[in-house]
Structures are given as structure tokens and as C-alpha cells.
Amino acid sequence: MTASPARAQRFREFKMPDVGEGLTEAEILKWYVQPGDTVADGQVVCEVETAKAAVELPIPYDGVVHELNFGEGVTVDVGTVIISVDTDPGAGPAAAPAADAPQEAAPAAEEDTEPQGRQAVLVGYGAAPSSTKRRARKQPAVPAQPEAAGAALQAELNGRATPAPMVTPVPVPAAPPAPAAPAAGAVTAGRPLAKPPVRKLAKDLGIDLATIAPTGPDGIITREDVHAAAAPAAAASVAAAPGPVAVAPAAVPVAGGERRVPVKGVRKATAQAMVASAFTAPHVTEFITVDVTRTMKLVQELKQDPDMAGLRVNPLLLVAKAFLVALRRHPEVNAAWDEANQEIVYKDDVNLGIAAATPRGLIVPNIKDAGSKTLPELAAELGDLVATARDGKTSPAAMSGGTVTITNVGVFGVDTGTPILNPGESAILAFGAVKLQPWVHKGKVKARQVTTLALSFDHRLIDGELGSKLLADIAAVLERPKRLITWG
């Protein structure tokens, strides 16, 4: 239904924007406002988590919060209204635009018009408008064919509107009263109607759509319907709660001391990326054990250096610098595989990724053009990157465009591992724990500080010789850190 212009102008709706290129959904982590709160243009009203990062969303209106359409923990599709604001609260009480508002007679308004192109919002862009124009529904003169109507509606949900089939009218006896639209909660016969993301969610959770009672308009199954079917106990408590705000599905308890938690946000993106990388790029992993006693001494000396005052100096800093020096000696490693064009793309800048474990999962922000940084500049960038990641404030831009990565598994006491490439990158270096071990030094067995490095690389881009030379050079720098000067 269409609200009057005055009503629509008073109650402004804010939709979930695309806060990163190509993202389709985001989870509402926290609301900073509640209905009745006064908000100003540019004020942050909520924090959402996409597949890449947590982002704060500002509201582009002045007024009073009228309604929050979703609760915390709910995943919302881009382009869905999440909050409405009363921009003229002094005008007195009035109902916000709603789907069940009476439609004013307007014979000429046969079609809803939509603005062309994506509309800019304060964060990212809104959802791309559909190319499908929907006419107002009219009562058919003859009984509609349920299968054809259902297929047409499902085509609209899939974003592929098809022309209505030509139906030749035939004489029929007096038509019985038209059947009412399916009531919310009624299970309809035939193929269930649902959007593609909802169908995927049901498949992932092992739910048969035919067994779900739809609550959406026109008998459409919603995401909440699927979660309710997966968690009957949680759904019952949600149904009893007052108010229209959707509530996030809880973990589903099952017999045998297990629990099931929906995979979403950073964890979901990480899983998809690792599967794509592991089964797309042919991985090769090589290992080397190296005496890093001199490097560890240099770390202690740098901590006392006035030029490094206020900066975080640790072994990872020198491992990163050694990696960059080795890449300068073997620039062909800094490349990417373009499957679509069957080309190898050689990169001039090294965007060095640092794998960071956060409460929301693993993320890999990167330092842009890290090869051009001095040691103090690299230390400052590393400190900022880690702090931002742990606070959950890493931007999507900081996690895009990486070329190689370092993962520091040594902080967990692990000797090494076989790291999986970050999609689109050519190599990843695992830095293991530094331990005091017996080592032959100048012809005698002595206690030395030793670590193991593991380098995984894309064998489409890097053959065994090149990968071995790169890893050997990294180890050589760490064994004798003066090579940072002679090779750098």
C-alpha cells in the first residue's frame, strides 16, 4: 500500500545500506537508540557486522525514533528498512506508514515508480533497485491458476519477472466467491514461495520449506519463519513477546549435549574464503628451521632506541621486514592469478596482510605498500592494525587488496603450521614459536633461540625453485639481521 505524501514525508525510513562492495546482508550487533529517543542527522544509531567488519551506521534524518524493525542479533538483507524516524513529532500522534494502511483511491497510480540507479546514503550505497515494475493487484474475472500465479510470484522473488502467460477465457458457470489470500501461518499447497537467500538458509539448516507456515505477505516464507522452524522453543518465546521487533534466533539445543549456532558474519566469510582458496589454488607448503638468536637480540636493542620510542617492537616486526626484503629480491612472487582472463597479474606494491584473531573470528587486514615503509613506519602501522582489529573497528577497505600475508602462530606456543592462502594472494608465511634449543653454532652445540617458518604459496604462480629461494632468503635475514641493511 502507498502512504500519502504528507505521511511519507513525516515518517522517514532508513534501509540497511551496502557498507561494502557487493555485500548482501548484515547482522545488527547493537542499537544505540530506542523508540522515543531524539536523533540528529549524522548520529550513529546502530552497529552492524558484515562479512568483512563491524560498522557503525549514522541516521540521515533529524527527529524522534518511531520504530526499530529488527532486534539485536538479527541478520538483515541490504535494502530492508531497519528503523523509521518521525521528522515532525510536534504534529501530534500519527501512525507510521505501514503495509496494512488503507489505500487511497487513485486510478491513475497504476504503477509504483522507483528512482533509477543506486541511491547514496551516509555509509556505502543502498540496494540496487529492481528492474521489475509491479502493478496493483486486481481481482481476476476468472479464477486464477494457482500454479501459474505461484510461479510468477516466485519469479519476482528471484528477481526474474516473466510475462504472464496468455490465458484464453472459456465460458464458466457463475464464479464462486474468490478465495481469500492465505492467512499468515497457514501452510500452502504447491511449491513454497521464498527468496533465494531464505531457500539457502533453509537448506543449510536442513529445514523442508514445505513444512513451514509462512508469515510473509502473499504466503511468502521469511528468514524468521525458517529460524522459527529450526528452533521451536525459541520461536515460541519470540511469538509471546510483545511488539513487532524481530528477535535473533538462539542457539538450538539438541540431544546428546550438543548445540547448534548459525554461521554468520566474519565466521561465515572466513569459512567461505578458506574453502574457496583450498579448492581453487594448488597449495604447496615448505618449512625451514632457523637460528634467530641475533634477531631476538636486535629486538631488545630496538626497544631502547629513541627512534622507536612509543612504538611496539616485537619479533613479528622483524619477520615482516625480512619478508619484505625477500620479496624485493623476488618481485615475481607478488602476483595474482586472473582466472577469467587467464593472466598472471604482477603487483608493484606489496600489501602485507597480518592475520588477526578477534572475538568475532579471523580477519586479515593489510598494510598498503608495506615495502616502502621504514622500520618505524612499519612498526606504527602494525600497532594500529592490531589495535583496530581487536576493537572490531577494521574497515572493509583495510581487508581488501592484500597480496601476501603473515600469520603468527607462535604466540600460541605452536611450532608451525600449513597455512591456507587468503583468496587472491600468492603466499602466506607462518611464524612459529621461538624456543631455546640445542644448536650447532661455530662448531659447538649451544643453547640458541630457534624458530620454524612455513611458507604456503600458489603453485600456479610460484614454482618450487622460486618458493624455496623466497623462504631461504627470509630465514637468512632472520639468522643475520644485518642483511636488512645489505640486502635492503
Residues identified as active-site? 459
**Which residue, chain included where needed, has cell 528512482?**
115
Helices marked H in 137-231: 146-157, 196-205, 223-230
Question: What distance, in Å, lies between the first and last C-alpha atoms of the chain?
Answer: 68
Asked if 247 and 32 count as a contact pair (C-beta separation under 8 A), the reply is no
CB 202 within 8 A of CB 224: no
* Percent helix / strand / coil, the chain, rounded to 5: 30, 25, 45
- 30 SS3 class: strand
List the Cα angle 399/405/411 in 5-degree steps: 105
DSSP bridge pairs for 452: 289
Nearest to 370 by CA among 379, 380, 358, 378: 378
C-alpha cell at 51: 562479512
Question: What are the beta bridge partners of residue 456?
Answer: 285, 428
Give the CA distances from residue 432 to residues 16, 56, 292, 477, in Å, rounded to whole numbers and listed in that order.
42, 36, 12, 16
Pairing of strands 335-338, 356-358: unpaired
Residue 113 gets which letter from DSSP? -
Contact 200, 262 (CB under 8 A): no
Only one residue has cell 600469520, namely 407
d(CA 63, CA 83): 12
Cell of 427: 603466499
DSSP letter assigned to residue 478: H
